[in-house]
Structure 1
Amino acid sequence: MDSKYMFDSFWVENYRRLKAITEDPSTRPAMIIGNIFVDAVKDMHVQFDVLDTMVWPTMPLLMLPCSYFPGQPGFELEGTLAFEIVSMWLHVKNELVILKSLLVILKFFTWTKDQRRIAGIKYRLPSPNKPDYLVLVNSIFGLEIPRDLSPLCALVGPLLAN
């Protein structure tokens, strides 16, 4: 969580600068491209109806849900939910991770809410199951869990340096 706090600590400054650029008609962009660490881009989409594009290094978390976790026979990691034979204990253990992390998650959400309050934001960002903005996924197709991709989500990876 230390790295998440570090990245999100720049949100107030990112928000103020993007808002200043977007409010000015002479500098207002037609579209903003940001990565998953720049939530201020989503705020510009909500406040000013500016098209936004988010670049993700993996399939977006809590977005594009799938009701199953398929595995390629012979390639699953033993003990994961994609494994062909998963015990009931592993299913329960997987759900307990959320309960064990609940205090850390709640502390982070409170901190994020305080950051947004400092900047004068009183609304919460929508968290749709399907995005209402363009999502570019820089991933290696076939290594991710297959998902029902919406028309606004495109696999563009892997983008590798030469």
Structure 2
Amino acid sequence: MPQSQADAADFLDHAMHAGSNGAFFVIADPGDERYLGQIDLTSINWKLRSADMAIVMGAEGQRNRGIGTEAIGLMLEYAFLTLGLERVELEVATANARAIRCYEKAGFRHEGVKRHAFRIDGEYADLAVMAVLSGEWRAARAAEGGDRGEAGRAGKDG
């Protein structure tokens, strides 16, 4: 995944021109529109109505501001309400406790672990597989009072 603004631009350009089956969004600072990261839906399977999600936030100093959490919420809203998906899945390093907590807060549930699925610093590491289903996400939003529906997104009472 890209780590700099230039890397992100190259990645997004390649994804758009390669006919990639996904949706790619840049995460920008709400104050000055500076690049902070990106969030993607990839491998969209229209038959199963599922996709993989990935998010990369840039510099460490830009974390813990709630922007990544907000981006995940917006991406899930897009996936379930706009695209009509049933399932969004992701993989995260089991050692990345901060990210796992963020995903759990967004409604993702643990489904399993892929042992020795990647290498970091020359060592094998495990990936947690997590997913959220449309019905789970909708129920959680309704319980939080966040189910705005079509009228709410249009800024109308309802």
Q: Give the TM-score category using the shorter length.
A: under 0.3
Larger Rg: 1
What TM-score, normalized by structure 2, do the two folds share? 0.24
Higher strand share: 2
What TM-score, normalized by structure 1, do the two folds share? 0.24
